[in-house]
Amino acid sequence: MLCSPNKYLSILLGTALFLHSFALRSAELRDVQIELRNDRYRLYSESYLDVSRQALYTVLTDFEKFEKFTSAIVESRNIEPDKRGRPGFYARMEGCVFLFCRTFIRSGYLLLSPIAEIVAISIPEESDFKYSRERWQLIPDGEGTIMIYDFELEPAFWVPPVIGPYLIQRALRGGAERAIGRIEVLARAVEDEKQAAKPVH
């Protein structure tokens, strides 16, 4: 059966956009490890993202964007620096284990080493975690960046025995796998915006 020129053009355009979308998916999760030791969970991942360190640093220090990384975060923002001048952050997450659902708060401060490292440390008295520390290391690799992510946390809330730890570890792994592509898209938008802002000579 022959297609009309317009329909044929639509098919070609649709195919081109489909292939282009795969070409843009260059974020690669190269390694992810999760362990539970003494009630403390640890996630370690190493990823390659086809964007600059500067763009990634811009995204990862803007907690307003964290809601776009994962659906688990329902509210996130940067807050005023503490008395020592360290930038603050706030994140509210929601999750369920079987029929047990609740909100989790993480609030604390950032330790910044532009544009190489970001460390987010939660204050236990202001959070639902006895211990929570996230660390992003950004290492240049050609035109892209290796992102090493290390997240260690200890809940201050009840976790159902046996199945609870399994579900938490599965959620951490799934979140890491989904987040890197979204982070790269946001970082690429930062690069595009910066490029568009350059004066044309």
CATH, residue 111? 3.30.530.20
In a domain, 32, yes or no: yes
Does some domain include residue 13? no
Task: With respect to residue 14, please indicate whether it lies within any of the assigned structural domains.
Answer: no
For residue 151, what are its two tokens?
């997240």
Helix (H) or strand (E) holding 75: strand 73-79
The single-letter code of the amino acid at 108 is G
Asked whether residue 50 is domain-assigned, the answer is yes
- Position 8 scores a pLDDT of 34
pLDDT at 190 over 80: yes
- Closest Cα partner for 168 from 83, 55, 42? 42
Chain segment 64-89, per-residue pLDDT in tens: 999 998 888 999 999 999 999 999 99
Residue identified by tokens 């809330």 is: 157
Q: How far is CA 80 from CA 56, 57, 85, 107, 110, in A?
A: 22, 19, 9, 11, 11
For the chain, the domain total comes to: 1
- Within-domain flag for 103: yes
Whether residue 15 contacts residue 22, with contact meaning beta carbons closer than 8 Å, is answered with no
Classify residue 140: in a domain, yes or no. Answer: yes
Number of residues in the chain: 201
CB–CB of 121/153 below 8 Å? no
**pLDDT tens digits, 10-40:** 333 333 333 333 334 478 999 988 888 988 9
For residue 182, CA distances in Å to 76, 90, 187 come to 16, 20, 9
For the segment 34-53, the average pLDDT, to the nearest whole number, is 92
- Residue tagged 């763009």 (tokens): 55
Domain of 178 in residue numbering reads as 24-196
Peptide bond into 115 cis (omega under 30): yes
pLDDT at position 34 is: 87
Contacts of residue 26, defined as CB under 8 A and 6 or more positions apart, other chains included, come to 48, 49, 50, 144, 184
Whether the link from the prior residue into 123 is cis, omega within 30° of 0, is no
17: in domain: no
pLDDT tens for residues 98-154?
A: 566 788 999 999 999 999 999 999 999 999 999 999 999 999 999 999 999 999 999
In a domain, 16, yes or no: no
What's the whole-model pTM score? Answer: 0.80
